[in-house]
Structure 1
Amino acid sequence: MEFIELILINKLDGVILKYPHQENVDGTVCITGHHLILSSRKEGVHELWLLHKNIDSIEKKENKPSSGATQGGSLFLKCKDLRIFQLDIGSTNELHLVAQTLENLSSLQDPNLFYPFFYRHMHPIVENGYTLYSIEGEFTKVLATEEWRISRVNHNYTVCSSYGKAVVVPKNIDDETIAAAATFRQGGRFPVLSYRHNNGAVLMRAGQPLYGPKHRRCRPDEAILNAVVALGTKGIIYDLRSSNSISQQQSKGGGTESNSNYSQWKIYNRSMDDVDNQQQLLDNYSKLIEACNDREISSDKWLSKLESCGWPESVRNSLHTACIVAQHIHQKAEPVLLHGTRGEDATLLVCSLVQIILNPDCRTIRGLQALVEREWVQAGHPFGARHRCGPHGAGAARAAPTFLLFLDCVRQFLEQFPCSFEYRQAFLITLFEHSYASQFGTFLCDTEQERESRGVYEQTTSIWSWLNQPDELPRHINPLYDPTPTVIWPSVAPMSFVIWEELYLRWLVEQHTEEREEQYRVIRSREQQLRAQAQQLRRELMDLARQYYAPAKRDPICDK
C-alpha cells in the first residue's frame, strides 16, 4: 500500500491553528505520509510538526449553515501527549478531506509503515541502543554466582512468543524442564529471573499457572521454583489478582498455584485488578484526563473528582505492593515470584518498582534505561498492543496506559526523594511521549520476535542511542543528584500522592484567567499541606515501628 492512496488532500492554505497559550496561527497545512505540518508566513512563528501516530482522536464540527450553505468548520485533534489542537478550515469539502486523510494515516496498523522506518538520524550514532543492554551484560554479577545461567531454549521463540531469545534461569534446571514448564504457564511465560538482591534473595516473574478446574499439576514448574528456595526456608508467591479474578480464570483453564503442590512456597493474593484489567485502567486514565481538562469545575470539586477517578489509587496500590514485595526480599531474604494473568502488565510494573526501591543503579539514567529495556521491552509488554486494540476511530479497545502508570509511580519517588535520582522529570516525560509516538524504534511492536521479524533492529534507531548523546543527555540530569546507596521506602499514605501536573496539566497551567490561577494556588497550597502531614505521619510511624518491633524482634512484613 502506498501513502498516496490514503492522502486525499496534501496541501491547504488559509488554515487557522488554535492552541492553548499561543496566538492563533494563519498558515498552510501540508500532509505527508507521517506528519501534519502547519507553517505560517509570519516570521518568528515555529512550524507545527505533528506525527499522525500521535493523534488519538479526530472530531469534526461544521459551522452552522449561512444563507442555506455550510461554511467550513473545525477539526479538533486530541493527541496522545495530551495536547488538543483546533484547525479552522473555510471549506466544508476540504474539512472532510483533511479529516478523512488524518483518520486514514493515524489508524495505520502495520509497524513497517510507521515513521521510525523512514527516519534517518542526522548525527553519528556513538552507541547502538539495541545492543547496549544485553542479558549477558545486565546479569554479569548474577551469572558469576554459579547459581544461575542463561538459557537459549527460546532462541526461535517457540517456547514463549513474548519472551526474548535469552532468559536467566536456575543453573541446575535443564532446557527440557523449562520447555515443559512453559506449557503450564499462560502464554508460555515460565518463571524467569528478574532481579537478584545483594543478600542473595531473588525476584522472579511468570504468567499464571494453567491450573484449571481439574487441578492440573506440573512438576517441571515446581522444580524451577523449588530450585531457588534454600533448605529449611520458604519462598513467597504473590498472585496480583483478587480471589474473584482467580476464580474467573480457573473456569477458563487458569488459576493460581496450590499449597499442596508448592509446599515450599507461601501463596498470597495482592489484588491489582485495577492494573491487570486493561479496560479499567484505561477508564481511570480517561477520567483523570477529563478532570484535568475541566475548566469550569471549582478547586474543591476538582480535587474530589481527581481522587474518585481511580488513578491515584492505582498509583498508591502499585507502590504499596512493591514495598511489600521489597520487604520480603530485603528484610527476610525470601525469594519472591510475581504473576497476574498474562504477566505483561501489573507483574512488570511491580517488578520494576521493586528494583527502584532496592537497587540504587535503577535511579541512574542508564540504570532506568536498562530497567525499561529489560522489564518492559524485552519482557514482552505490548507497547504496540495490536493484539489488544485496533484503530481508535474504529471503536476498538485502546492500549492500557500501564507504562505511563509506572512512570507516574517513579514521579512519586522523585517527589519524595528529590536528590536520590540522577534523572529529572523531563526524562520521564520524554519516555512517555516516545512510548506512544516516536521517530525511534525502541517501543515499536509487542515482542522481540516481532521486532526481529520486521527488521526493527537493523532499519530503525534506538531511543537510547539518541538520549545518550553528549548534547542531549545533560537535559535530563538532575543537578541535585546525590546518590543514595541504600534501599529507599516511599510513603504510600493517601496524602503523599502528588498529581503529576508537569505532565497532565502542562498544556493547561498557563491559562491566564483569575479563576484558573486561583484554582492552582489552592491546589498547590493543599498539596504542600498534605505533603507536610505525610512527612510527619511517616516519622511517627517509623518511631512506632521501632518501639513495636525492636524489643520482640517481630516480623514487620504484612502477610495480608
Structure 2
Amino acid sequence: TDEWRLSCINKEFSVCPSYPPVVIVPKSIDDEALRKVAMFRHGSRFPVLSYYHKKNGMVMMRSSQPLTGTNGRRCKEDEKLINATLRPGKRGYIIDTRSLNVAQQARAKGGGFEQEAHYPQWRRIHKCIERFNILQESLIKLVEACNDQSHNMDRWLSKLEASNWLTHIKEILTAACLAAQCIDREGASVLVHGTEGTDSTLQVTSLAQIILDPRCRTIRGFESLVVREWLQAGHPFQQRCAQSAYSNSKQKWEAPVFLLFLDCVWQILRQFPCSFEFNEQFLIMLFEHAYASQFGTFLGNNENERFKLKLPQKTMSLWSWVNRAEELSKFQNPLFEANSLVIWPSVAPQSLQLWEGVFLRWNRPSKFLDEAHEEMINIIKYNKELQAKVNALRRQLAELETDDRMQENL
C-alpha cells in the first residue's frame, strides 16, 4: 500500500543482527529514525510490519520490548513510528506477552513497556505466555507422562495436568485470538511484543495470521508464514531445538517454542478440518525437521547466521523437497475446501486435546489410522466421480430440454 515501504536499512545485518536484510516499515519513517528506534528496543528489534489485513487495512506489527528502564526513558522516533500505523481517529492495541508483574520487573534490568502517557492512542494488554525455560520444563514433564508405563489412570491424568502443556496451548491461542479480534472485529492495529520478540511474539503473530488469512491455511501459504514469521523473524532454532526433551543434559536455551506453535495449529486444524490444505503429517514433518534435518532450512538462529554459514549455497532447502508433487501428496488434506472466512478457534479447556500424533506416536498403532485415511481418500474420490457424472447428466438433460423446445417451436 501507499502507507508502507521496504527498508534495506539492515542490508548488512548492521542495525539488527536477528532481522532479515529487508523489512517493511511505515513510509513516513526514514531510515535514520529507524536507527534511533532500534537503539530504543531490546536487541535492536524495532517495530516492523508482520501482517496487513486487506479487509479493513489494519495491521499487526511486532518488535521487542522498549528499553524504558526505571527512569522511564522515551524515544520520540519510536512513538512516531508506532503512531504512523494508526488511521486518523483510530486506537491501537499493544499486546504484551508478559504478565504486568514481569514487564514491570523488566524495567529494573533496563527493559520495560510503553508508557500510556507517551503512547496515548494505544491501549496495552498483558497476555502472559510463559518464558522459554518454563516451556522446556513443561515438555520434559509431558514426555515423561507419555512414557509412563504404569497404566494408572490417576497417575496419567495428574502427570498430564502437572506438565501444564495444554495450559500453555490455551494461553498462546488466547493471545493470538485477541490479536486477531482486535484487527478484524475492533478494526484496530496491533503491536505484539514480549521481551526479546523472538519466541512468544512470533507464536502470537503467526497464529493470528492463520486465524485471519486463508492463504496461511494453504501449504504454500503456511510455508511462507514459517519463513516470514519464524526463520526471517529471527527465532533462534539452533538454540531452542538443540536436543529435544529426550536429552539427559539440560541446555540453557532449549525450549519447544516452535513445537507449541505447531501444536496450536493442530488444535485449530482439528476444529476446522476442512479449512486447511495440509494435514497433520505436514505439521509433524515440520516438527521433526526443526529438531533434526538433512536440510539447511532450520539451521542457525537467524538469517545473519545462515548467511555467514553460506547455508543457501551449502545445503538444500526443505521446501524444495516438500513441494515436489510426489511428496506434496502425502501432506494434502483430502477434506480441504477453500474457506475465505476468518476462523475463530475455541480455547475452552474442553476443546483442547493432547496431540497424539506427536506425543503418543509410539504408543498407538498407525495401521488403522492409515487404513481409515486411505478409505476416506477413496470415498472422496468416488464422491467426485459421482459429482462429475451428475453434472454431465444435468448438461445432457438441459440439452434435451432445449432440443424439445426447439422442436415444439417448429
Which band: TM-score by shorter chain? 0.7 to 0.9
- Superposition deviation, residue 257 in structure 1: 0.4
2:188 maps to amino acid: E
- Superposition deviation, residue 180 in structure 1: 0.6
Distance verdict in 2 for CA 1:386–1:427, change over 3 Å: closer
In the alignment, what sits opposite 2:35? 179
1:217 correspondence with 2:68? no
**SS state of the match for residue 268, structure 1?**
strand
Q: 2: distance between equivalents of 1:396 and 1:197?
A: 39
1:236 correspondence with 2:93? yes
**SS state of the match for residue 185, structure 2?**
helix
Aligned equivalent of 1:246, options 97, 103, 128 = 103
Q: 2: distance between equivalents of 1:257 and 1:481?
A: 42
1:298 correspondence with 2:155? no
Q: 1: distance between equivalents of 2:355 and 2:311?
A: 32
Q: Note the 1:129-208 alignment, pairs <5 A.
A: 145-198=1-54, 199-208=56-65
Aligned residues: CA RMSD: 1.8
1:278 correspondence with 2:140? no
- Superposition deviation, residue 355 in structure 1: 0.2
- Superposition deviation, residue 308 in structure 1: 2.5
In the alignment, what sits opposite 1:412? 267
Q: Kindly indicate whether the alpha-carbon contact (under 8 Å) linking 1:193 and 1:204 is maintained by their aligned counterparts in 2.
A: yes
1:304 maps to amino acid: S
Q: 1: distance between equivalents of 2:236 and 2:94?
A: 24
**SS state of the match for residue 239, structure 2?**
coil
Distance verdict in 2 for CA 1:386–1:432, change over 3 Å: closer
Distance verdict in 2 for CA 1:389–1:176, change over 3 Å: farther
Distance verdict in 2 for CA 1:371–1:185, change over 3 Å: same
**SS state of the match for residue 183, structure 1?**
helix
Q: 1: distance between equivalents of 2:318 and 2:188?
A: 36
1:313 correspondence with 2:170? no
Q: 1: distance between equivalents of 2:173 and 2:240?
A: 28
2:97 maps to amino acid: L
Give the TM-score normalised by the residue count of structure 2: 0.86
1:420 maps to amino acid: S
1:445 maps to amino acid: G
Q: 2: distance between equivalents of 1:301 and 1:236?
A: 42
1:264 correspondence with 2:121? yes
- Superposition deviation, residue 247 in structure 1: 2.0
1:501 correspondence with 2:356? yes
Q: 1: distance between equivalents of 2:220 and 2:169?
A: 24
- Superposition deviation, residue 465 in structure 1: 0.3
Give the TM-score normalised by the residue count of structure 1: 0.63
Q: 2: distance between equivalents of 1:394 and 1:492?
A: 34
1:168 maps to amino acid: I
Q: Kindly indicate whether the alpha-carbon contact (under 8 Å) linking 1:388 and 1:397 is maintained by their aligned counterparts in 2.
A: no
In the alignment, what sits opposite 2:290? 435
- Superposition deviation, residue 303 in structure 1: 2.4
**SS state of the match for residue 221, structure 1?**
helix
Aligned residue-pair number: 364
Q: Kindly indicate whether the alpha-carbon contact (under 8 Å) linking 2:116 and 2:122 is maintained by their aligned counterparts in 1.
A: yes
**SS state of the match for residue 472, structure 1?**
helix
Q: Which moved more, 1:239-248 or 1:151-160?
A: 239-248
Q: Kindly indicate whether the alpha-carbon contact (under 8 Å) linking 1:239 and 1:269 is maintained by their aligned counterparts in 2.
A: yes
- Superposition deviation, residue 304 in structure 1: 3.1
- Superposition deviation, residue 327 in structure 1: 0.7
Q: Kindly indicate whether the alpha-carbon contact (under 8 Å) linking 1:357 and 1:489 is maintained by their aligned counterparts in 2.
A: yes
The superposition leaves residues 10-49 of structure 1 with CA deviations (integer Å, 9 ceiling, x where unpaired) of xxxxxxxxxxxxxxxxxxxxxxxxxxxxxxxxxxxxxxxx
Aligned equivalent of 2:345, options 487, 490, 494 = 490
Aligned equivalent of 1:424, options 269, 272, 279 = 279
**SS state of the match for residue 374, structure 1?**
helix
1:292 maps to amino acid: C
2:23 maps to amino acid: V
Aligned equivalent of 1:362, options 216, 220, 223 = 216
- Superposition deviation, residue 302 in structure 1: 1.5
Q: 2: distance between equivalents of 1:395 and 1:304?
A: 24
Q: Note the 1:321-340 alignment, pairs <5 A.
A: 321-340=175-194
The superposition leaves residues 340-363 of structure 1 with CA deviations (integer Å, 9 ceiling, x where unpaired) of 000000000000100000000000
**SS state of the match for residue 326, structure 2?**
coil
- Superposition deviation, residue 332 in structure 1: 1.6
Q: 2: distance between equivalents of 1:221 and 1:192?
A: 11
**SS state of the match for residue 325, structure 2?**
coil
Q: Kindly indicate whether the alpha-carbon contact (under 8 Å) linking 2:67 and 2:110 is maintained by their aligned counterparts in 1.
A: yes
- Superposition deviation, residue 300 in structure 1: 3.9
Q: 1: distance between equivalents of 2:362 and 2:241?
A: 32
**SS state of the match for residue 6, structure 2?**
strand
- Superposition deviation, residue 299 in structure 1: 2.5
Q: Kindly indicate whether the alpha-carbon contact (under 8 Å) linking 1:240 and 1:340 is maintained by their aligned counterparts in 2.
A: yes
Q: Which moved more, 1:184-193 or 1:240-249?
A: 240-249
Q: 1: distance between equivalents of 2:104 and 2:302?
A: 29
1:448 maps to amino acid: E
Aligned equivalent of 2:226, options 365, 372, 379 = 372
1:221 maps to amino acid: D
**SS state of the match for residue 50, structure 2?**
strand
The superposition leaves residues 355-394 of structure 1 with CA deviations (integer Å, 9 ceiling, x where unpaired) of 000000000000100000000000000000189999x666
- Superposition deviation, residue 193 in structure 1: 0.3
Aligned equivalent of 2:307, options 452, 456, 460 = 452
Q: Which runs of 5+ in 1 are unaligned?
A: 1-144, 512-560
Aligned equivalent of 1:351, options 200, 205, 219 = 205
Q: Percent identity?
A: 50
1:180 maps to amino acid: K
